[in-house]
């Protein structure tokens, strides 16, 4: 190709590129984005509350909204259905091989939950929720993780006041300013300290393994010097021979259940987490779960007319009785106490809540 032809082609390209913006302007290609279009794209919500829409939502409203829009995948109690994510629980699992990451266990900022629900949920119908509905769902998730009470209302005004349990669990990556200078400077190779002193020998620090025989000798000597057990005193022997007072299973089971009015009232509030599936009191009948009248002192799997899981029936046949202690352990970890039972509820995390709800059940015929 001749130099002249290359020059002509290059000049033509530059001319076209230079004129293109002018042509675009005259032909009406493109326009400035409208404010509402920018608002539709600008959905980010930051930890400091930047980007939050004006609105509010209560735990009570959130329960209904969550049931209608989220429960099909995440469960009525945010416990997760099949392999869909669990949104509640996970406290104390971050050191496990497979930790459960929720706003109650892992995420440091509430804005993460709000931003994701607002931007991407419900699945298949994203951005169909109004701001008040998003606030309500997030409030219900806080309640499901035992972070707020059932009368809590979340809004743009109190949003930043909510501090999640793992807020201090993350660190800023400052290696470029802290570690890098230390590792890149010229290392000291001699006379790096004014003086060197031996402060302790490894053997004294107990970091050097010793002879196993040395450990066995003191143990053997201790066994030889153990005194014979003392004979019981006359009072102790009499106490052992005296027959214990007989108590009925229900009396024994009910021992230790609080009858304090304030505790029972607190238990009524906690029972709101249970009432969707369980009934107690006058006229109580089986629902999604068995009715709880007379539950304290009753064998597991023993309510007439209710279809229990095989695991719960086997537990009852094995002698499981619903004492306050067993009910407490079950409410704290239903799946751990009776593996593979059908109750979907993830459990109560606070011991006070467990004691209160047991007191409420007992006071109402349980």
Written in H, E and C, the secondary structure of 20-55 is: HHHHHHHHCCCCCCCHHHHHHHCCCCCCCCCCCCCC
Distance CA 247, CA 153 (A): 47
Q: Which of 122-131, 214-223, 268-277, 350-359 has the lowest mean pLDDT?
A: 214-223
Instruction: Name 55's Cβ contacts closer than 8 Å, sequence gap at least 6.
Output: 130, 131, 132, 134, 135, 155, 156
pLDDT reported for residue 61: 97
Q: Where in the chain is the domain with CATH 1.10.760.10?
A: 56-161, 250-363
pLDDT reported for residue 16: 46
In this predicted model, what pLDDT tens digit does every residue of 168-182 receive, in sequence order? 999 889 999 999 998
pLDDT, mean of residues 327-335: 88
pLDDT reported for residue 123: 93
Report the Cα–Cα distance between both ends of the chain, in Å, rounded.
98
Note the Cα 305 to chain centre separation in Å. Answer: 34
pLDDT band at 247 (very low <50, low <70, confident <90, very high): very low
In the predicted structure, residue 341 carries a pLDDT above the cut 50: yes
Question: Of 38, 56, 47, which Cα lies nearest the Cα of 115?
Answer: 47
Rounded (10°) angle between helices 261-270 and 351-363: 100
More confident residue, 349 or 203: 349
Report residue 27 as tokens: 């032909």
Secondary structure (DSSP) of 95-163: TSSS----TTTT-S-HHHHHHHHHHH-STTSTT-S-HHHHHHHHHHHHHHTTSS-TT-EEETTTGGG--
pLDDT band at 136 (very low <50, low <70, confident <90, very high): very high
Distance CA 127, CA 58 (A): 20
In this predicted model, what pLDDT tens digit does every residue of 283-303 receive, in sequence order? 888 887 898 999 999 999 889
CB–CB of 15/116 below 8 Å? no
Most confident of 53-62, 189-198, 327-336, 353-362: 53-62
pLDDT reported for residue 239: 47
In this predicted model, what pLDDT tens digit does every residue of 11-31 receive, in sequence order? 554 444 454 455 545 777 888
Distance CA 74, CA 298 (A): 32
pLDDT band at 310 (very low <50, low <70, confident <90, very high): confident
Distance CA 207, CA 252 (A): 52
pLDDT band at 188 (very low <50, low <70, confident <90, very high): confident
Helix (H, G, I), strand (E, B) or coil at 354: helix
In the predicted structure, residue 128 carries a pLDDT above the cut 50: yes
Report residue 172 as tokens: 């800023």
SS3 content of the chain, % helix, strand, coil (to 5): 40, 0, 55
pLDDT, mean of residues 95-105: 95
pLDDT reported for residue 246: 47
pLDDT reported for residue 87: 97
Q: Any idea which residue has 């930047």 for tokens?
A: 50
pLDDT reported for residue 248: 46
Q: What percentage of residues in the chain have a pLDDT greater than 70? A: 78
**Other Cβ atoms closer than 10 A to 356:** 24
Q: What does the DSSP 8-state code read for residue 271? A: G
Q: Kindly list the distances between the CA atom of residue 275 and the CA atoms of 46, 253, 272, in Å, as whole numbers in the listed order.
A: 36, 23, 5
Instruction: Quote the Cα angle for 185-191-193, to 5°.
Output: 85
Beta strand segments in the chain, E: 56-58, 153-155
pLDDT reported for residue 97: 93
CATH class of this structure's domain 56-161: mainly alpha
In the predicted structure, residue 92 carries a pLDDT above the cut 80: yes
CB–CB of 103/110 below 8 Å? yes
Residues of 55-91 as b/e, b for ≥16 C-beta within 10 angstroms? bbbbbbbbbebbeebbbebbbbbbbbeeeeebbbbbb
Q: What percentage of residues in the chain have a pLDDT greater than 90? A: 45
**Other Cβ atoms closer than 10 A to 145:** 22
Q: Kindly list the distances between the CA atom of residue 349 and the CA atoms of 103, 269, 346, 363, in Å, as whole numbers in the listed order.
A: 14, 15, 9, 22
pLDDT band at 213 (very low <50, low <70, confident <90, very high): low
Instruction: Give the CATH architecture of domain 250-363.
Output: Orthogonal Bundle (1.10)
Element (H, E) at 217: helix 212-224
pLDDT reported for residue 121: 96
pLDDT, mean of residues 221-235: 52
More confident residue, 1 or 274: 274
């Amino acid at each position: 190709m001749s130099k002249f032809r290359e020059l002509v082609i290059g000049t033509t390209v530059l001319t076209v590129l230079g004129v293109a913006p002018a042509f675009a302007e005259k032909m009406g290609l493109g326009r400035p984005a409208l404010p509402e279009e920018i608002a539709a794209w600008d959905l980010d919500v930051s930890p400091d509350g930047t980007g939050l829409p004006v609105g509010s939502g209560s735990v009570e409203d959130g329960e209904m909204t969550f049931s209608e829009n989220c429960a099909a995948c995440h469960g009525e109690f945010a416990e997760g259905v099949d392999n869909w994510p669990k949104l509640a629980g996970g406290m104390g699992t971050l050191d496990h091989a497979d930790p459960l990451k929720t706003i109650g266990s892992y995420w440091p900022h509430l804005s993460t939950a709000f931003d994701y629900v607002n931007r991407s949920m419900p699945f298949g119908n994203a951005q169909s929720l109004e701001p008040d509905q998003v606030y309500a769902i997030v409030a219900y998730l806080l309640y499901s993780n035992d972070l707020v009470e059932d009368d809590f209302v979340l809004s743009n005004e109190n949003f930043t006041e909510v501090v999640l349990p793992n807020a201090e669990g993350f660190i800023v990556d400052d290696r470029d300013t802290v570690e890098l200078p230390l590792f890149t400077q010229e290392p000291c190779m001699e006379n790096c300290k004014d003086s060197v002193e031996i402060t302790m020998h490894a053997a004294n620090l107990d970091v050097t393994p010793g002879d196993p025989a040395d450990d066995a000798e003191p143990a053997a000597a201790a066994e030889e010097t153990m005194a014979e057990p003392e004979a019981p005193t006359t009072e102790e022997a009499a106490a052992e021979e005296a027959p214990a007072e007989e108590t009925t299973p229900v009396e024994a089971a009910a021992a230790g259940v609080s009858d304090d009015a304030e505790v029972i009232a607190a238990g009524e509030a906690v029972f709101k987490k249970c009432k969707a599936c369980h009934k107690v009191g006058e006229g109580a009948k089986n629902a999604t779960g068995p009715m709880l009248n007379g539950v304290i002192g009753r064998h597991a799997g023993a309510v007439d007319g209710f279809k229990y899981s095989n695991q719960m029936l086997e537990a009852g046949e094995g002698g499981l009785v619903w004492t306050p202690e067993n009910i407490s352990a079950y409410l704290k970890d239903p799946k751990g106490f009776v593996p593979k039972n059908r109750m979907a509820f993830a459990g109560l995390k606070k011991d006070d809540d467990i004691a209160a709800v047991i007191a409420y059940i007992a006071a109402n015929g349980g």
